[in-house]
């Protein structure tokens, strides 16, 4: 077009920029942006909106979003499309707090959000585990009569499921007149994350009876449900049915679910055999799932062998070194553990620090282990000490094997007491009325000691405590069933799988939320 000297106009650039967004090339997008300015269309709202969208979609990640924000801030006139694009951009790169802050700014400036905006805001609530804020968004949608299309309904179902209220998610699903495959996937995945595998299976069977044809994403949720609930035989049956009954060729995600399911059940050797016989090459995530199971179930030599091979294949992936370091700690081979940590330091690698968030009065508070930055630090640590004394009176024994340091048991116990989960729970106990539910969100797996301690705290302080552990790369964790549910008591040791289902629109990503609920009494 330019070669023929046909000049672009304000209607041309939105199409070109959308094409750039589809390609995701940041440098190409910047080049087109330069052309926009050159031909004098930099102040056109429609063009600016598409620029914001384009930058948010580019593979530059945070860099692309920063360019988008610069365009957004320089707009002389912005509409709901502008705000929706920028909020959605923040959500896309995981900056959920920034998305919520921008939404609040949007309200202050009197710009009316539409259903697209609200879908992004709900995704941000999901990213933060902010249930109360999500409830407020639901009320806002009702109050302001925002059009509740199927995408918005699905976002609400997804938010409630991932933020710990799967019953509300299920009720919303039941009351929704218009459903699509994402609706079914959301509720199946939500039930799976809460360890309610039998219910997830029942919903899947209901979906089949309703004439809805499952796709590969639904099966990820279904297999995760079987995995989270120890339904090994059912999981195998459904995996086989994918190809035989529905003509769906299993992908690496489905094989990963099967490996995870076997690992959760302690069938490490069977899981290894399954991996070795897979018709497609296992990815590093599958191997990490197996390695974590080796560590959890005492197959330490096998875990060491697999991890060393993984390091040879991925020499710059820090999580591989962390896995090997943890295996050596489990072996009490402190010299080798130290050498691994030194190698990480030489390569400039950092271990992701554990942190725990808690929502209070629509504000998110974040704690890290040993954190003393909070204004209430003195009171929080006094509460932690009180919790420790009360738990010991009730029969709690600290799981000092969780401390992967060569120190004596007394120091290990003190280290456990400073875990971010306990700090967040102490903060919640201090700042909420007696009997109030406490909900915390952990960015990594919850350790065995915090799992055990939380059950004691729940009973001692007569609180229902909900913990969500966000896991990436097959971190090991525990799933504890409600001891009062249907008169049953079970504690299912779960290898929290990299294949937990996360639904963004209609995509299964290799990460997920796993809920643990302890009910008072």
Q: 176: how many CB neighbours lie within 10 A of its CB?
A: 17
How far is 1 from 510, CA to CA, in rounded Å?
42
96-108 helix and 80-92 helix, angle to the nearest 10 degrees: 160
What per-residue confidence (pLDDT) applies to 213?
A: 94
- Where is average pLDDT lowest: 7-16, 62-71, 133-142, 268-277? 7-16
Q: What are phi and psi of 520, to 5 degrees?
A: -60, 150
What per-residue confidence (pLDDT) applies to 470?
A: 60
CATH number corresponding to 258-352: 1.25.40.10
What per-residue confidence (pLDDT) applies to 205?
A: 97
Which residues, listed in sequence order, are joined to residue 33 by a DSSP beta bridge? none
Is the predicted pLDDT of residue 500 greater than 50, yes or no? no
Mean pLDDT value across the chain: 80
How far is 154 from 161, CA to CA, in rounded Å?
11
How far is 80 from 4, CA to CA, in rounded Å?
36
Helices (H) and strands (E) in the chain, counts: 24, 7
284-298 average pLDDT score: 90
235 neighbors 227 (Cβ within 8 angstroms): yes
Q: What is the pLDDT of residues 214-251, one digit of tens each?
A: 999 999 999 999 998 999 999 999 999 999 999 999 99
495 versus 142: the higher-pLDDT residue is: 142
What per-residue confidence (pLDDT) applies to 469?
A: 74
- Where is average pLDDT lowest: 319-323, 407-411, 503-507? 503-507
Is the predicted pLDDT of residue 283 greater than 80, yes or no? yes
Is the predicted pLDDT of residue 401 greater than 60, yes or no? no
Sheet architecture: strand order including 438-442: 363-368, 355-360, 438-442, 465-471, 512-518
How far is 516 from 446, CA to CA, in rounded Å?
9
Is the predicted pLDDT of residue 49 greater than 50, yes or no? yes
DSSP string, 361-388: TTEEEEEETT---STTHHHHHHHHHHHH
282-292 average pLDDT score: 91
Distances, alpha carbon 461 to alpha carbons 191, 387, 452, 465, in Å: 28, 9, 15, 10
489-504 average pLDDT score: 30
Distance from first CA to last CA of the chain, Å, rounded?
A: 73
0.95 surpassed by pTM:
no
Is the predicted pLDDT of residue 126 greater than 80, yes or no? yes
C-alpha Rg value of the chain to the nearest Å: 24
Question: What letter would DSSP give residue 496?
Answer: -
- The closest alpha carbon to 199, from 174, 225, 173, belongs to 225
Distances, alpha carbon 230 to alpha carbons 192, 235, 261, 274, 371, in Å: 11, 9, 7, 17, 36
Is the predicted pLDDT of residue 414 greater than 60, yes or no? no
Is the predicted pLDDT of residue 196 greater than 80, yes or no? yes
**227-266 exposure pattern, b = at least 16 Cβ within 10 A, e = fewer:** bbbbbbebbeebbeebeeeeebebebbbbbbbbbbbbbbb
- The closest alpha carbon to 394, from 405, 404, 402, 386, belongs to 386
How far is 467 from 442, CA to CA, in rounded Å?
7
332 neighbors 319 (Cβ within 8 angstroms): no
How far is 521 from 511, CA to CA, in rounded Å?
32
How far is 499 from 509, CA to CA, in rounded Å?
8
What per-residue confidence (pLDDT) applies to 492?
A: 33
What per-residue confidence (pLDDT) applies to 50?
A: 82
- Each domain of the chain, given as residue ranges in start order, spans 258-352, 355-518
What per-residue confidence (pLDDT) applies to 28?
A: 77
137 neighbors 163 (Cβ within 8 angstroms): no
């Amino acid at each position: 077009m330019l070669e023929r000297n046909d000049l672009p106009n304000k209607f041309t650039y939105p199409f070109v920029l959308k094409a750039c967004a589809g390609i995701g090339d940041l440098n190409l997008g910047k080049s087109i942006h330069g052309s926009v300015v050159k031909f004098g269309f930099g102040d056109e709202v429609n063009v600016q909106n598409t620029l914001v969208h384009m930058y948010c979609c580019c593979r530059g990640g945070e860099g692309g979003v920063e360019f988008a924000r610069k365009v957004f801030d320089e707009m002389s006139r912005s509409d709901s499309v502008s705000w929706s694009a920028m909020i959605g951009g923040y959500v896309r790169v995981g900056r959920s707090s920034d998305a919520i802050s921008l939404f609040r700014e949007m309200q202050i400036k009197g710009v009316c959000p539409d259903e697209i905006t609200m879908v992004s805001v709900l995704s941000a609530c999901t990213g933060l585990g902010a249930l109360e804020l999500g409830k407020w968004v639901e009320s806002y949608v009702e109050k302001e009569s925002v059009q509740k299309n199927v995408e918005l309904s699905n976002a609400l179902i997804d938010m409630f499921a991932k933020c710990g209220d799967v019953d509300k998610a299920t009720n919303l699903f039941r009351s929704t007149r218009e459903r699509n495959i994402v609706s079914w996937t959301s509720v199946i995945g939500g039930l799976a994350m809460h360890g309610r595998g039998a219910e997830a299976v029942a919903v899947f069977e209901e979906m089949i009876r309703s004439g809805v044809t499952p796709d590969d994403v639904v099966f990820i949720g279904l297999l995760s449900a079987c995995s989270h609930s120890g339904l090994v035989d059912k999981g195998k049956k459904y995996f086989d049915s994918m190809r035989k009954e529905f003509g769906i060729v299993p992908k690496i995600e489905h094989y990963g679910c099967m490996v995870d399911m076997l690992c959760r059940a302690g069938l490490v050797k069977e899981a290894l055999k399954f991996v070795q016989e897979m018709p497609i090459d296992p990815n590093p995530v599958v191997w990490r799932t197996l390695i974590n199971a080796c560590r959890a179930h005492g197959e330490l030599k096998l875990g060491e062998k697999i991890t060393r091979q993984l390091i040879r294949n991925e020499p710059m992936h820090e999580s591989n070194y962390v896995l090997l370091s943890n295996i050596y700690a489990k072996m009490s081979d402190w010299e080798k553990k130290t050498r691994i940590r030194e190698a990480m330091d030489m390569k400039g690698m950092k271990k992701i620090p554990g942190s725990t968030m808690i929502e209070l009065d629509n504000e998110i508070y974040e704690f890290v282990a040993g954190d003393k930055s909070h204004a209430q630090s003195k009171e929080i640590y006094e509460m932690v000490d009180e919790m420790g004394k009360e738990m010991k009176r009730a029969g709690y024994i600290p799981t000092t094997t969780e401390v992967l340091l060569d120190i004596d048991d007394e120091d290990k116990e003190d280290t456990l007491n400073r875990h971010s989960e306990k700090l967040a729970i102490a903060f919640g106990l201090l700042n909420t009325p007696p009997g109030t539910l406490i909900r915390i969100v952990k960015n990594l797996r919850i350790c065995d000691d915090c799992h055990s301690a939380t059950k004691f705290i729940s009973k001692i302080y007569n609180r229902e405590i909900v913990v969500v552990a966000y896991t990436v790369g097959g971190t090991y964790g525990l799933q504890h069933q409600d001891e009062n549910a249907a008169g049953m008591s079970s504690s299912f040791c779960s290898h929290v799988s990299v294949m937990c289902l996360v639904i963004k629109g209609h995509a299964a990503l290799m990460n997920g939320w796993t809920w643990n609920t302890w009910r008072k009494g």
